[in-house]
Amino acid sequence: MVSPTEIILGDLRFKPLIFNAIIMERIRELAKEINEEIGSQKIELLAILDGAEAFAKAIHPFFSFENQLHFMKIKTYDGLHSSASADLDWSELDQLRGKNILILEDIIDSGFTAYKLTESLKKREIGDVRLASLLHKPAQLKYPAKPDFTGFEIGPEFVVGFGMDYREQGRELKDIYRCVDL
Ligand code: IMP
Ligand code: MG
């Protein structure tokens, strides 16, 4: 299917930023980088819902190490802005005690979500905690949550597609689009 050159979600216009073929190619490379780093360790993969579901499902088949994939809901974004609280399901975190973890995120913006999560994991006698994010906005980073593995570094723009949404719209787009109205 041909990708539209412009889409409108609510009050905002978006244009293509990264096409699906490029995303998939990078995901395969990223999996290779991660496989080399992890080696023969057993890893608990923690994909952050809803945004990272597409990334987690795309990269998972390329991992060569023993792993278990978990999904965890954390909601911190309110429309366009990172909100000041992160909603974590604590009971699930307790099951990860003593294990090595790789967090899978869709995008690191301020770094708040990833920072809160890694801090809570580290307090729970967990093994190594690493972070892989499909996208990272280095110019926006305000918390110490630089990903160990990054798919693409982008500017401070707001994006949708490949799991990422604007007010619950745009998640199912196979390409990544950037907002041209902000
Ligand atoms: P942070 O806590 O500020 O790093 O934001 C991380 C979360 O906000 C990500 O997991 C996304 O779900 C969401 N987010 C950040 N930037 C964007 C964006 O450009 N588009 C859609 N969601 C975003
Ligand atoms: Mg997210």
Q: Is 84 a residue whose pLDDT tops 70?
A: no
Q: What is the mean pLDDT of the chain?
A: 90
Q: Hey, which of 8-22, 94-108, 111-125 has the most confident mean pLDDT?
A: 8-22
Q: Would you call 168 exposed, middle or buried from its count of C-beta atoms within 10 A (0-12, 13-18, 19+)?
A: exposed
Which has the minimum average pLDDT: 48-52, 123-127, 139-143?
123-127
CA-CA distance, 149 to 130, in Å (whole number)?
8
Q: How far is the CA of 107 from the centre of ligand 1 (A)?
A: 5
Q: Is 176 in the pocket of ligand 1 (CB under 6 A)?
A: no
Q: What is the mean pLDDT of residues 92-119?
A: 89
Q: Is 131 a residue whose pLDDT tops 60?
A: yes
Dihedral of the alpha carbons of 72, 101, 147, 28, in degrees to the nearest 10 = -90
Confidence (pLDDT) at 129: 93
Q: Is residue 109 among the annotated active site residues?
A: yes
**50 three-state secondary structure:** coil
Q: How far is the CA of 17 from the centre of ligand 2 (A)?
A: 19
Confidence of residue 59 (pLDDT cuts 50, 70, 90): very high
Q: What is the mean pLDDT of residues 45-52?
A: 91
Which has the minimum average pLDDT: 45-49, 75-79, 117-121, 140-144?
75-79
Q: What is the mean pLDDT of residues 95-117?
A: 91
Q: Is 133 in the pocket of ligand 1 (CB under 6 A)?
A: no
Q: How far is the CA of 40 from the centre of ligand 1 (A)?
A: 31
Of the listed ligands, the closest to the CA of 52 is 2
The residue nearest atom 16 of ligand 1, judged by CA position, is 109
Name the catalytic one among 109, 128, 175, 181.
109
CA-CA distance, 79 to 20, in Å (whole number)?
24
Of the listed ligands, the closest to the CA of 17 is 1
Q: Is 115 in the pocket of ligand 1 (CB under 6 A)?
A: no
Confidence of residue 90 (pLDDT cuts 50, 70, 90): low
Pocket test for ligand 1, best of 109, 112, 171, 181 (most atoms within 8 A of CB): 109
Of the listed ligands, the closest to the CA of 135 is 1
Q: Is 54 in the pocket of ligand 1 (CB under 6 A)?
A: no
CA-CA distance, 26 to 83, in Å (whole number)?
29
